[in-house]
Each structure stands twice: as structure tokens, then as C-alpha cells.
Amino acid sequence: METANDELIAKMIQPSKPLALRAPVRLLQTAVPLGIIADWLFYDKPLGISLLLFVGLVVGGLWWNGRSEAIDPAKRNLWLLIPLFFFASMAMLRTNSTLTTLNVLAVLCLLAYLAFFYAAGRVENMNLLGYALLPVRVFGRSLALSSPVIRPTVQEIRVNGNGRRRLLPLLRGLLLALPVLLVFTMLLSSADLIFADYVEELFSLDIFNHVAEWLWRGFLILAVSVLLAGGLALALTRLADDEEQSLLERGLATLPSHFSIGFIETSTILVLVNMLFA
């Protein structure tokens, strides 16, 4: 028993292995544009066809990366696309806020199921508890797998140095052009009243009122991009022999057989619920 526990602890604390992907950088190149598109479609805008469009882009990005990595989707699990696009399209109706919220939650859960069962496993092999816990598991594993996706990109930038070599001349050019731009701006402002109004609006303090909003939107774009990069990595790297049950499910399965919810417990719950709404 102690040996099994030691092996489990060692497996949990061992460092993460590199992703078995040809080009993990491509996942980040897909996730970042999707994050920007998500901000453009959803931030401070009512839901409509935007949810269906975004779901289509996510599924298309997953298929494109899978094709680039020579990873075929498990055809037995592709039926998940039917309810996924159905609930995404139902958000266009906007009958009431509660129904729209339920549609969005259904889309998020189905995206989690699709990511988990895209290349391996069977949806029908899970129990009821597994279905309830799977979105949380996918969220956690997506965050964990985002690091192996981002790390190769950072290493490639450091090794190649192309970004730094291109950025430094651009910054030097901007610094050299700044005094010239200031002089010509002052001259044109004194000669043209319309141009002067444009300059005054540009440098007015109203622009600083939106800085907090821009920072918040940038954070949301970053969070969505990281989550999507990890989700794409999960969908393309999960193997057929991976454990489909979580630690909680396996722990509950080892409980004694007499620990169960029977007729009396179920009846008690139903009676209390009926008394609550009576």
C-alpha cells in the first residue's frame, strides 16, 4: 500500500514532459488570434451569431492543428459537434437571460468534452460523476498544458533573436522621428485650426479614462489565449491509454459497497425538497 502511494506521489511531482507535437508554437499562433476575436465578438456586446461563429473558429482551429500534426479525430466522438453547434445557434434566439446562460454553459461543457475526447477515448465510458467533473478537469489540465505550449515559443524567440533585431531599429527610428514630429505638429496646429482641434482631442485627458478598460481587455485576451492554447494541446496529446477517471472518481469507486445511497436516503432528500417548495 505504501509503495502504491509513493508511486502516486512521485508521479504527481515529477516535472512535466515536453509535448509530443511537431510544432507546439502553432497552437499559440492559433490561440492568440482566437483570443483577440473573442474580445471583438463578445466584449460588451449581446450574444447572437457571434457564439456560433466563435465555436466554428475554435473547431476549425482544432481540426487545422490536428491535420498539421497528423492527428485524426476519433470519429466515434464526433457526434459531440451536433449538440455543440445546436446550443451555440440557440444563443441567437435570446428569448431570456436564463435560457441564454444555460446555452452558453452547455457550449462550454461540450467544448470541454470535445477537447477531452477529440483524439482518444469514448464518451459513453464515463459515469454521471465523470460527466459533471470533466469540464473542471479540462480547465485545470488546459492551464497546466499551456506552459509547455508557451515555453517553446519563448525559447525560439531567444534562440533566433529575430524579434529583438527587428524591434531595436524600429524603436531607434521612432525616437529619432519624435522631435521632428513634434515640431511639425506645432507648426501645423498654429496654421490649421481643424488640425489643432484634432491634436487637442488626441492629447486630451479623456484618453486616459479608457486605460483601465484596455488593460482589463488585454488581460481577458491573454487569459482566453492561454486557456485555448492548453485546450488545443490537451485535445491533440491525450492518448488512448490515459486514465479517463479522475482521482475523485477512482477514490469513490474504492469505497465499501455498503456505502451507497439507497431508497431511504433518496426518499429523505425528495421529502425535504418537497417541504421546501410547499
- Inside any domain, residue 74: yes
- Inside any domain, residue 134: yes
How does pLDDT run across 93-115, given as a tens digit for each residue?
A: 766 788 888 889 999 999 999 99
Q: Is the dihedral of CA 40, 62, 101, 218 positive or negative?
A: negative
- Inside any domain, residue 128: yes
Q: Is the pLDDT of residue 263 over 60?
A: no
Q: How high is the pLDDT of residue 269?
A: 65
How is residue 262 annotated by DSSP?
Answer: -
- Inside any domain, residue 233: yes
- Inside any domain, residue 275: no
- Inside any domain, residue 56: yes
Q: Tell me the chain's radius of gyration from C-alpha atoms.
A: 26
Nearest-10 Cα torsion for 141, 252, 7, 239? -40
Confidence of residue 57 (pLDDT cuts 50, 70, 90): very high
How does pLDDT run across 220-242, given as a tens digit for each residue?
A: 999 999 999 999 998 888 765 45
Q: How high is the pLDDT of residue 219?
A: 94
Helix orientation angle between 24-42 and 211-237, rounded to the nearest 10 degrees: 140
Which residues span the domain enclosing 69? 22-160+211-240
- Inside any domain, residue 225: yes
Contact yes or no for 228/58 (Cβ under 8 A):
yes
Q: How many domains does the chain divide into? A: 1
- Inside any domain, residue 119: yes
Q: How high is the pLDDT of residue 225?
A: 92
How does pLDDT run across 193-209, given as a tens digit for each residue?
A: 776 776 666 666 565 66
* Amino acid found at 179: P
